[in-house]
Structure 1
Amino acid sequence: MPNTFSMEISAIYMALCGMLLVALALRVVRGRWQYRVGIGDGENKALSRLIRVHGNATEYLPMALLLLLAVENALGAAWPVHALGSLLVVSRLLHAFGLGKSAGSSMPRFLGTAGSWAMILVSAGIVLANSF
């Protein structure tokens, strides 16, 4: 384990995911204006889906990014952090696209979920393996 704390690489993915969260939040705001709903979803299925796309990202991204930061500090090597960070960003984009188009199952939604889970599990494994 390196002796110094680093977040130079994971900060890139934190920034990208932060931008994704704002983009998803703007879609919710646009939907609220369009459907004239100030709070909740007004029983509007399209707005409800926009809210869930944003909500799902806010549920997964914090833990995934914390694990990415822990991986960067556990390994001290750039390529695994870039690989895991890229997997996370691509997976979250796929999930947002898939769920944004349909509340049902879709290949982008499935791949986004699978990729996010894989990134979290691999990162957790790396952190645990390097903690002993």
Structure 2
Amino acid sequence: MEYVSSLPVTLVFIALFALLQIPMTIVVGLRRVQTDTHFLDGGDQTLLKRMRAHGNFTETVPISLLAMAAAEIAGAPHLLLWAGGCALLLGRLMHYGTLVNSGFGNGRAIGMIFTMTPMLIFPGYILLTFAGLNF
């Protein structure tokens, strides 16, 4: 059975980000078991870092993927979609790694720049396309 999608690039990134969220969720749960913390962070800085890294991922990835899907539906070039998806992936990995390991650092800021770039480019492409500017 062959499956043809109108969102081939976005579907790849949805799958990758869904898979990435699994270990992020697990490490939060494992730390909860280790510290016997059932709600909030219990004052445990390691748990707090893991929760914020997971939370920030959860706050930024879904809207980015929706914007990516909308851009793909609007006819965005595959190169733009791949570049934006890779930037988002790199950004999320940098931000997560820095936040969990040290809590601060340039990797966190650079990760957010890589995250925000597709969050700006995909909706920008859509709005410019609907304004009549074709690329």
Counterpart Cα distance in 2 of 1:76 and 1:44: 44
Cα deviation 1:71-91 (Å, max 9, x = unaligned): 111125321111111111111
1:102 offset after TM fit, Å?
1.9
Matched residue, 1:67: 67
Q: C-alpha root-mean-square deviation of aligned residues, in Å?
A: 1.3
Matched residue, 2:21: 21
Matched residue, 2:89: 89
Matched residue, 2:114: 115
Query: Contact conserved, 2:71 with 2:125, CA < 8 A, in 1?
Result: yes
TM-score (norm 2): 0.88
Long gaps (5+) in structure 2: none
Counterpart Cα distance in 1 of 2:75 and 2:17: 22
Query: Contact conserved, 2:96 with 2:108, CA < 8 A, in 1?
Result: yes
Equivalent AA in structure 2 for residue 25 of structure 1? T
Long gaps (5+) in structure 1: none
User: Percent of aligned pairs with the same residue?
Assistant: 28
Counterpart Cα distance in 1 of 2:68 and 2:122: 7
Runs of 4+ residues over 6 Å off in structure 1: none
- Greater relative contact order (Cα < 8 A, sep 6+): 1
Size of the aligned set, in residue pairs, is 127
Counterpart Cα distance in 2 of 1:59 and 1:88: 13
1:118 offset after TM fit, Å?
1.1
